[in-house]
Amino acid sequence: MLKTLVKKQLYELFRAYFFDAKKNKMRSKGQIAGFITFFVVVIVICLGGMFTAISLSTGKQLIPVGLGWLYFAIMGGMAVALGAFGSVFNTYSSLFLAKDNDLLLSMPIPVKYIINSRLLSVYLLGALYAWSVMIPAEISYFIIAGVAFKTFLCALIMLITVTLIVLVLSCFLGWIVAKVSVKLKNKSIITAFISLVFIAAYYFFYFKASALLSYIMENANSIGQTLKVKAFPLYLFGQGGVGNVIAAISTLCIFIVLFLATWMLIEKSFLSIATTSGPGKKLVYKNKEFKAQPVDAALLSKEFARFVSSANYMLNCGLGIVMLLIVGILVLIKSDYLLLHMGRTFGKGSDIFAALAILMIGSMNAMNDMATPSISLEGKNIWLLQSLPVTPFQIVRAKVRMQVIVSLIPSIFCAICMIIAFHLPVGMAIFVLAVSAIFIVMVAYFDMWVGMERPIMNWSTEVIPIKQNLSVLVAIFGSWVPCVIFIGGFALSHFLKVNAYIYFGVMTVLGLIFAYIFRLIVKKKCQKCIESL
C-alpha cells in the first residue's frame, strides 16, 4: 500500500512529464525522455552552473586560508534557503490540505502511510533544489582542496543532512500555514500575504548576497572566530564538510532527531488539520432581496471569487500585480538615481525612457497568467458551467476579463509613477498607457488560448494545474516574446532615426491587431474545448 501511495505522489509531482492532458493519455517514451532531459538540463546547466561559479569564487578565497568550514556554512545556508523556498509554497497544500484527503481517509489506509508518502514527495522536491547548490559546492571543494576518503564520506553525509534540514523547515512552515489557514475565514488572502513576506525577505537577502559575500571575504577571520563562539551549530556543520567525521555524524544525528520530532508532530495533528473545514459560525436567516446580475457580470464575479479564494492561484499567477505596485513606488522614490544611471546607460531622450517604461510594465504583466489555468481549475465541476444557459465564449471571456482587470489597475498605477519619475511629455505618456493596456489585453487572450490547448481536469491538488502545468510555462515565456520584439524594434528604429511617435503608433496598431487575432482564436476554439471536457 505504501509503495502505491509513493508512486501516486511521485506521479503527481512529475505528472506533466508522463501524461498528455490534452490527449488524455500517456506520453510516448520519446516525449517522456525529452521532457526529463529538458528538466535535467535546466537544473544542471542553469542552477548547477550558477552555483558552481559562486562556490569556486568563494572557495578559492576561504579554503586555502583554513576556513573551509566557513565555506561549507555559507554554501549550506544557500542550499537550505533555496530548498525551503522551492518547496515550502506547496508543502502545506500537498502535505496537509490535498484535495484527495477525504478519498484517502475514507479508505482502509493507515494514516502513517498517507503521511509518509507525502513527506517523501516534499523531501524529493526540497532535495532537488538543495542538491543543485551542494553538489557543485562539494565538487568545487574537491577541485580546490583535493579528494580524500574522509572528505568524500563527509560530503555524502552532508548531502543527506542538508535535505533533512530543508525537509524539517518546509514541514514546519507548511504546518504553521496549514494550522493557521484552517482557523481563518479569509485564509487564502492571509496565506498569500505571509508567502509574499517570505518572498520579499528571500529576494532582499538574495540581492544583498553579493555585498554580504564581499563583506565576509574581507573579514573572514574575525567572522569565523565570532561564529565559532556565537553560532557553534554552523561551525559544527561546516567542520563536517571539511572531513571531520564526528562533526558530520553529530550534525546528521541532530537533524534526524528533529525530523523524527517533526514527523511525530505531523502525525499527531494531521487528522485534525486534514478534516477541519474551517471556523463555523451560526448563521441567522434574514429576509432580504437579492438583485439579479447580468450573465457576464455574474461570471466575472465568479472568477474574482475563485482568484481570491486560493493562495496558490494568487501567488503563482498574480505575482506581477505585487511587482507592479512595488516597482511603481520604488521608481518614484529612486527617480533621481534612475534618471542618472539609466541616462548614462541608454541615453537621456524621453522616447528611451518611455520605451523602457513599456518594457518593464510588459515584462511584469507577463507574469500575470490567471487565464491559463482557469479552465483547468474548474476540475470536475466543469459540468456546472456546461449546464448553464451561457455560451462557451461567455465563460472564457469572463476569465480573460478578470485577468485584464486585475492586471490593468496596478499597471496604470505603475505607468503613472514612471511618467512622473521620468518626466515624460503628454504624448509619450499617452503611448505608455495605451501600449501597456493593449499588451495586457493581448496577453490575456494569448494566455487563455494556451490554457485551452492543454487543460488538466483530473487533479488532486490545485498545485498541478497552477504550477506543474506546461501551459503555464509556455504562457509566461510566450508573453515575454512581444516585450523582446518591442524593445528590439525600438532599438532598430532609434538607430535608423525613425520618429519615436511613429514607432509607438505602429506598435499600438500591431498590438490591437494581434489582440484581435488572439480573441478570434479563443472564440473559435472555446466551444470545442468546453464541450469536450
- Render the burial of 317-327: b for 16+ CB within 10 Å, e for the rest: bbbbbbbbbeb
pLDDT at residue number 410 = 93
* Burial zone of 370 (CB within 10 Å; 0-12 exposed, 13-18 middle, 19+ buried): buried
Residues contacting residue 243 through CB under 8 Å, at least 6 positions apart = 148, 150, 151, 154
- φ, ψ of residue 111 to 5 degrees: the values are -60, -35
Q: Do the Cβ atoms of 170 and 123 come closer than 8 Å? A: no
The label of the residue with cell 562556490 reads 55
Alpha-carbon separation of residue 281 from 178, 183, 278, 285, 290 (angstroms): 20, 12, 10, 12, 22
C-alpha cell read off for 486? 518591442
CA separation, residue 73 to residues 132, 136, 487 (Å): 16, 14, 42
Q: Which three cell numbers stand for residue 256?
A: 534526524
Q: How confident is the model at residue 464 (pLDDT cuts 50, 70, 90)?
A: confident
Measured CA to CA in angstroms, residue 250 lies from 58, 72, 154, 310, 457 at distances of 26, 16, 11, 41, 47
pLDDT single digits (tens) 167-217: 888 888 777 766 666 666 555 666 666 666 666 665 666 566 666 666 666
Instruction: Check residue 63 and report its DSSP letter.
Output: G
Asked if 400 and 515 count as a contact pair (C-beta separation under 8 A), the reply is: no
| Residue 83 grid coordinates | 530548498
Distance of CA 286 to the CA centre of its chain: 43
* pLDDT for the residue numbered 78: 84
Contact predicate 464/456, CB 8 Å: yes
Residue 22 has pLDDT above 60, yes or no: no
pLDDT in tens, 39-48: 777 777 777 7
- The answer to whether 168 and 89 are in contact (CB under 8 A) is no
Q: Per-residue pLDDT for 361 more than 90?
A: yes
Give the model's pLDDT for residue 5. Answer: 80
DSSP string of 13-49, one letter each residue = HTHHHHEETTTTEEPPHHHHHHHHHHHHHIIIIIIIH
Name the more confident of 339 and 334: 334
Higher pLDDT, 528 or 460: 528
To the nearest 10 degrees (0 to 180), the angle between helices 245-274 and 111-145 is: 150
